[in-house]
């Protein structure tokens, strides 16, 4: 097996954990490239699997770093929640010999292309989680029109708008009140951020449609954010088009790990609420 090893070298413990894991990895696989700062150009390189050390943010960077030649990703969580990077280093040590023998499955997930245009100038971004068009301090309202497949859908006034994939539905969109989508769905969720009109609600629609956001009025400092990591200023007249990317993201799954198990573990589903500390004895 040929592998890329990528990761977030800025997160404490990643470089040290990589040093501990490299002997095991080399024993079972050929390391084509090790890039813990995720700066290398992967053009012209190929591998069977990408091992990502860090957290979900490192996986989002890896997906964009691989660009239009996606390699299935196995994530090792050295961060916090870890919806995508759901293996611990010890779990990786246990399962990697089997992974090297092909004992895993790959689930495929929607990625998006985002095109930002103004006066004939255009930039294209590839992403996995979401795009957000939002304001910055002092947080004056932004006004946006949403057009779906050429048909006007809604006008939003508020702090902004999120267009998320199913993978991204447990990220920024969830914190803004959006729904959790099954990761294998072919859909986008459009989630307003603090809308001024209370009837504006999240909408789930097909990923086969094209979503265009027209910036009617943007306060100074408004910006477009790709996957919570790339930031581009936006102004009046900008249009932002979101559509299905021509590539999909591959997530490596090993035996015993499922999406609902991840949701139970990370969101503590099924656990009783702990509203306050237990009273001390004699209280």
Q: How many helices (H) and strands (E) does the chain have?
A: 5, 16
Instruction: Tell me the per-residue pLDDT of 27-53, one tens digit each, with 9 for 90 and over.
Output: 999 999 999 999 999 988 999 999 999
- Give the strand pairing for 105-118 and 203-206: unpaired
Report how far residue 131's alpha carbon sits from residue 173's, in angstroms, rounded to the nearest whole number.
10
pLDDT > 60? residue 280: no
Instruction: Tell me the per-residue pLDDT of 210-252, one tens digit each, with 9 for 90 and over.
Output: 999 999 999 988 999 999 999 999 999 999 999 999 999 999 9
Nearest alpha-carbon partner for 14 in 3, 4, 22: 22
The answer to whether 184 is a known catalytic residue is: no
Report how far residue 180's alpha carbon sits from residue 204's, in angstroms, rounded to the nearest whole number.
10
**Domains defined along the chain, listed by start:** 2-104+254-267 (3.40.50.10330), 111-246 (2.60.200.30)
N-term to C-term CA, the chain: 61
Q: For the whole prediction, is pTM greater than 0.75?
A: yes
Residues 35, 56, 145, 159: which is the catalytic one? Answer: 56
DSSP SS3 for 216:
strand
Q: How confident is the model at residue 283 (pLDDT cuts 50, 70, 90)?
A: very low
Worst-scoring range by mean pLDDT, 42-46, 77-81, 103-107?
77-81
- Strand ranges for the chain from DSSP E: 2-7, 30-35, 49-54, 73-77, 105-118, 121-127, 130-134, 142-148, 151-158, 160-164, 187-193, 203-206, 211-217, 223-226, 230-233, 239-253
225 beta partners: 132, 231
Mean pLDDT of the chain: 92
């Amino acid at each position: 097996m040929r592998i890329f090893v990528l990761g977030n070298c800025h997160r404490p413990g990643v470089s040290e954990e990589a040093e501990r894991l490299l002997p095991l990895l080399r024993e079972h696989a050929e390391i084509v490239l090790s890039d813990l700062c995720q700066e290398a150009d992967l053009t012209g390189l190929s591998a069977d699997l990408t091992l990502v050390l860090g957290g979900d943010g490192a996986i989002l960077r890896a997906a964009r770093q691989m660009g239009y030649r996606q390699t299935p990703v196995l994530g090792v969580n050295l961060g916090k929640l870890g919806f995508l990077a759901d293996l611990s280093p010890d779990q990786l040590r246990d399962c990697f010999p089997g992974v090297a023998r092909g004992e895993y499955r790959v689930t495929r997930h929607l990625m998006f292309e985002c095109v930002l245009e103004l006066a004939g100038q255009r930039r294209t971004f590839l992403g996995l989680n979401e795009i957000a068009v939002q304001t910055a301090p002092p947080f004056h309202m932004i006004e946006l029109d949403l057009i779906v497949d050429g048909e006007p859908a809604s006008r939003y006034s508020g702090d902004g708008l999120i267009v998320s994939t199913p993978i991204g539905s447990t990220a920024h969109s969830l914190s803004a009140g959006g729904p959790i989508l099954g990761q294998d769905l072919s859909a986008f969720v459009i989630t307003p951020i603090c809308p001024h009109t209370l009837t504006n609600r999240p909408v789930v629609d097909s990923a086969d449609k094209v979503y265009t956001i027209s910036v009617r009025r943007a306060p100074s400092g408004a910006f477009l954010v790709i996957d919570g990591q790339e930031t581009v200023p936006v102004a009046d007249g900008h249009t932002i088009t979101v559509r299905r990317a021509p590539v999909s993201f591959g997530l490596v799954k090993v035996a015993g790990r499922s999406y609902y198990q991840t949701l139970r573990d990370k969101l503590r589903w099924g656990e009783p609420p702990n509203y306050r500390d237990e009273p001390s004895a004699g209280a």
